Homo-oligomer: A and B are copies of this chain.
Amino acid sequence: MTDQKKPLRFGSVSRTNGTEGYEAYKKYHSAPFAGVNEMIKACNLQNYSIYYYDGLLFSYYEYTGDDYDADMAKMAADPTTQKWWAAVVPQMKPFADDGPWVDMEQIYHLD
C-alpha cells in the first residue's frame, strides 16, 4: 500500500437484522464497550462513521497506518473487540458469508 496516498479511505455496506437488530445495533453504538474505541484508534483508524437507512448500514473510515492487514489482525486479536463483535454482529444480516461488512468500490473522491 506504500504507493497509495494517505489516508486510505474505506466504504463498506451491511444490513441490520430486522427492526430489533437495528434498535440493538444503534443502542450498542451509542455507548460502545469500554476499550472498543481506543482499540480502533490504536489500529490507526480515524473519522469513522456508520449510517443507517431502511435496513442498510454504511460505514466510512480512514486508515492512517502503514500496514492495514496487520492492524486489522491486531484488532481481531483483542479480547474486548471480540466481545464487542459477539454482541453486535448478530444484530446484522450481512451481504456476504465471509464477514459482517462488504467493501464497496470507491467511484468518486474530492478532497
Contacts and interface: CB of A to CB of B under 8 A. Distances in A.
B110 A53 contact: no
A108 B48 contact: yes
Nearest to A13: B53
A106 B37 contact: no
Interface stretch (A39-47, A66-74, A79-87): A39-47
Give the number of times this chain occurs in the complex, counting copies. Answer: 2
Interface of A, helix, strand, loop or mixed by DSSP: strand
A51 B106 contact: yes
A104 interface: yes
B107 A26 contact: yes
B48 A110 contact: yes
B107 A37 contact: no
